Amino acid sequence: MKSTLRISLKAGEKIFINGAVLRVDRKVALEFLNDVTFLLENHVLQPEEATTPLRQLYFIAQMILINPEGKEQSAAMFRKSITMLLTCFKNEEVLAELKRIDGLVSTGRAFDALKAIRGLYAIEDNILNNHEMPPTMVEQIRKEIAPWR
């Protein structure tokens, strides 16, 4: 038997469940009795926030979860993006984690991939702030992903 999952939301909070967006008008607890794909509002990256290569990858991965109708298109863009990122980053920790993230998405674990991508933000910020990735590469990645934002 599957275990249940209970989530508490505050008044006005949104949750994305299987492609639907719900907003609650008062404090509420939701109990999921079966498998469900969801994202809490504070984990949803808005298009204008996808300003770095990893944040853009996060945005694409979240689209796999919150837009089931476009899942195949988002997955194809994710594959293209991760391949590009694997050639752009030189940091071994980032490269190893990107390979793991790729495996998570390809096995249907996009939610876990989002958490892993968020975990790389600090390293990416350091790389970009120290100019360890040429600005031309960052621009190339942005141009490739721009249509998705």
pLDDT per residue as tens digits for the range 41-54: 888 998 889 888 99
Q: Tell me, yes or no, whether 81 and 24 share the same domain.
A: no
* Domain identity same for 120 and 142: yes
How would you classify the pairing of strands 5-9 and 28-32? Answer: antiparallel
Whether residues 17 and 56 share a domain: the answer is no
Question: Domain check: are 31 and 54 in the same one?
Answer: no
Query: Would you state the pLDDT for residue 130?
Result: 81
Alpha-carbon distance 55 to 33, whole Å? 31
pTM of the predicted model, to two decimals? 0.82
94 & 36 share domain: no
Check residue 56 and report its DSSP letter: H
Same domain, 36 and 51: no
Q: Answer yes or no: do 26 and 74 share one domain.
A: no
Written as six digits, the tokens of 91 are 């940091």
Quote the pLDDT of residue 145. 57
- Verify that 10 and 69 share a domain, yes or no: no
**Shared-domain flag, residues 52 and 106:** yes
Regarding whether 53 and 34 lie in a shared domain, the answer is no
pLDDT at 141: 64
List the domain range (segments joined by +) for residue 66: 47-148
With beta carbons less than 8 A apart as the criterion, state whether 15 and 39 touch: yes
Give the chain's residues under pLDDT 50.
1
Burial class (CB in 10 A: 0-12, 13-18, 19+), 50: buried
Do 92 and 106 fall into the same domain? yes
Instruction: Please state the domain count of the chain.
Output: 2
Q: How many CB atoms lie within 10 A of CB 13?
A: 17
Do 38 and 54 fall into the same domain?
A: no
